[in-house]
A and B are shown apart, each in its own frame.
Chain A
Amino acid sequence: MVNRLVWQNLLHRPIRTLLSVTAVAVEITLILTVVGLSHGMLEESARRTRGVGADIIVRPSTSQAAMGLSSAELNEKLQDKLASMPRVEMATGTTVYLLTSNFQTITGVDLAGFSRMCGGLKYVAGGPFEQPFDAIIDEVWAKEKNVTVGQNMQIWNRNFRIVGIVEPGKLSRVFIPIATMQDLMGWRGKLSQIYLKLRNPDDTATIIGELKQLLPGYYIYSMAEFTSLISINSYPALGTFIRVVIGLAVTIGFLVVMLSMYTAILERTREIGILKSLGASRLYIVGIVIRETLVLTLLGIGAGIALSHGAKGVIQQYFPILTVSLHREWWLWAGLIAVGGGMLGALYPAARAARQDPIAALAYE
C-alpha cells in the first residue's frame, strides 16, 4: 500500500517528477559519458598499440611509462643493434608527436619496416608514401576531418598530401615518413621508441631480461604489459578530471533531489499529519520519502543509461575520432553513485517530515 502511495505521489506532480528524473538522468549521463570517453580513448589507443604486432617495446629512460611522447631520445643505431640480436626477428623505430588538442599522435614510420611488423596497412584508398611530404591517415581521421586522398592537410604549418587512407587499428591515425618528421622536429638520427618482434614470442620475458642488462634505465616492456599501462591510472590528471566531473554530477543530483523532496514535503505537510494521526511512526514517514527518492533515482538511472547511449551515438556521429566505451560495470557504479547522492539529498526532507508535529501538520493549509 505504501508503494501505491509513493507511486501516486509521483504521478500527482508529473512535472516535478520529470524534472527530478531528468536531473538524475543528466547526472548518470555525465558520469557514464566522461568515464566512457576516457576509457574508450585509452582502450582504443591500447588496441591500436597491439595492432603493431610487436612483442617488446623499448622507450628511452626519459619517457613516462605509457604516456604519449613528443620527443625522440633513442639513437637510431640502436634499432639496427636490436634487430641483429639472434632471437629478434625484426625491429622498427617510430617517432611520435602528441597532438594535445585531441590526444592523437602523428607518427613517423619507416613504412616498409612498419608494414612488415604489423602485417601491412590495409589501404581503402590510395597507397604508400611517394614523396617526403606525403601522409597516410586512417578512415576515422578521414571521416573526422572530412578529407580524402589527394587533398592536403596541415601539419606543423606544412602541407602534407594525403596519399593513402587505411583501415584503423595500427598504432596511429596519421603516419608520415620518419625522415621527414626527424628533419622537421630536429630529431635527425633519433627515434621515440623501438618495437621488436621476436622469432618466438615465448622468449619475451628472457629477451626483456637481456635488454634490461644491455640498456639499463630504459623502459622495456612486453606489449601486454605496455598496453596494460595505458589506463587512467597512468594519467593522474585524467583521474582527477573524472573525479571532479563525478563530483559535479553528484552535486547536481543531490541538490535537485533535495529541492524536489523538500518542496514535496512542504506541499504534503497536511498529508504527513494525516499519516501521523493514523499512527505512522517516524520511520514509516522516512520510509515513504526514501522510497519516493529511490523510485525517482532508479527512473533517472534508467533514463540516464539510455541517454548516455544516445550521447555516444551523437559523439561517434559528429566526432568519430572520439571513442566512448559504456561498460556495464560503470552502469552499476554510476547507479550506486546516483542512489547515494539521491539518498543524501532525501535525508534532510525525510528528517523534517518525520519531525513534523502532527497537530501543526493537520492545521496546515
Chain B
Amino acid sequence: MPHIIEVADLTKVYRMGRVSVPALRGINLAVEPGEFLAVVGPSGSGKSTLFYVIGGLTSPTSGRACIDGQDLSQMSDAERTRLRKRTIGFVFQKFNLLPTLTAAENIGIARDIAGNRNFDRVHFDEILRLLGIGDRLSHKPFALSGGEQQRVAIARALANSPKILLADEPTGNLDTQNSQTVLQMLKDLNRRLGQTILMITHNPGAGTFCAHRTVHMRDGRIVEP
C-alpha cells in the first residue's frame, strides 16, 4: 500500500537576519493510510516545524515531503493552499476556533472554504456523535469548555473528510480529564473510521495511549527513544 505521508531527507532552515537556524536536519518518515502516528519530542526538537511542513503551511528547505502522492517541495504557495482545503485537517493546541462564530459556523466555514458540495452528512453526523458535541453546536467558543472547544476543532478538521488529520499538542491546553477524553476520541476516530492521524506531542504517554506507532524527535532529527 502506498504511503499517505512520505518524508525523505527533509530539512528546514529558518533565516533570522544573518543567522540560519536549522529546525529539521534530514527527517525520514513514512505513514500508511489509516495509521495513527505520534511524534514525540521536547520543545525545540522540530516537531512543530515538521507539523507545519507536512501540513503545507510552510515549504521545506530541501528533501521531499509527499502527501497523498503530491510532493510539497515542488508545490507553489497556492497549490499548498489547495491541498490544505481537502487533504489535511488541522487540530491545534489552542483550539483556534473563530471567536465570532458558533461551533456549527466554525465547522461550516471549513466546508465553505473547501467549496465542499459533496458533503457526507451521515458520515459527519457519526463524527459529531463520536465527539459528543451535537448539543453544543449553537454556542460560541467563549461559552464552551476547553474540552468542548477542542472537540469542535476536531469536528472542523474532519468536516471535509481529509485524508490526514494533523494534531499539534491537542491536549496541551486541557486538564487531565479533558485530555483523556480528547485522546480517546482521536483514538476512536482512527479505529472506527480509519482516519489517518499524525499527532505531535511532548507527552510520550499520549502517544503510547492512542497511537499505533511513536517516533521521537530531538534537535531536528528522528532519534531512538
Q: Which residues on A are within 8 Å of B, measured CB to CB? A: 1-2, 4-5, 8-9, 11-12, 270-271, 273-282, 284, 357-359, 362
Contact A279 B85 (CB under 8 A): yes
Contact of A279 among B84, B96, B99 (CB under 8 A): B84
Can you name the residue of chain A whose Cβ is closest to the Cβ of B86? Answer: A279
Residues of chain B within 8 A (CB-CB) of A12 are: 99-100
4 nearest CB pairs, A to B: A279-B85, A8-B100, A1-B112, A279-B84
Q: Which stretch of B65-73, B103-111, B202-210 is in the interface? A: B103-111
State which size class the interface on B falls in: 20 to 34
Which of A8, A278, A359 has the most chain B CB within a 10 Å cutoff?
Answer: A278
Stretch at the interface among B1-9, B24-32, B52-60, B173-181: B52-60
Report yes or no: B98 in contact with A5, Cβ–Cβ below 8 A: yes
With A277-B55, A277-B96 as given contacts, are A1 and B108 in contact (CB-CB < 8 Å)?
yes
Minimum CB–CB distance from A76 to chain B (whole Å) comes to 78
Q: Complex formed: what's the CA distance from A9 to B90 in Å?
A: 23
Minimum CB–CB distance for A110 against chain B, Å:
74
**Which listed residue (B82, B86, B96, B99) contacts A362, Cβ 8 A?**
B96
Contacts of B143 in A (CB 8 A): none
Q: Are B57 and A279 in contact (CB under 8 A)?
A: no
Q: Any chain A CB within 8 A of the CB of B81?
A: yes
How many Å lie between the Cα of A326 and that of B109 in the bound state? 42
Of B84, B105, B110, B114, the contact of A4 (CB 8 Å cutoff):
B105
Q: How far is the CA of A179 from the CA of B57 in the complex (A)?
A: 89
A9 and B100 alpha carbons, distance in the complex (Å): 6
Docked pose: A270 CA to B99 CA in angstroms = 11
Known: A1-B105, A1-B108, A279-B86. 12 other contacts (CB 8 A): A1-B111, A5-B98, A8-B100, A275-B98, A275-B109, A277-B55, A277-B84, A278-B109, A279-B82, A280-B113, A282-B78, A359-B58
* Residue of A8, A9, A274, A284 with highest tally of chain B CB at under 10 A: A274
The reply to whether A5 and B100 form a contact with Cβ atoms under 8 Å apart is: yes
Determine the chain A residues whose CB is within 8 A of the CB of B55 once the complex forms: 277
Bound form: Cα–Cα A25–B98 in Å: 30
Q: How far is the CB of B157 from chain A (nearest CB, A)?
A: 9
Query: With a CB–CB cut-off of 8 A, which chain A residues contact B110?
Result: 278
B92 touches A (CB below 8 Å): yes
Q: Which residues does chain B contribute within 8 Å of A5, judged by CB atoms?
A: 98, 100-101, 105, 109
Query: In the complex, which residues of chain A have a beta carbon less than 8 angstroms from the beta carbon of B92?
Result: 277, 362
Q: Which residue of B lies closest to A271 (CB)?
A: B98
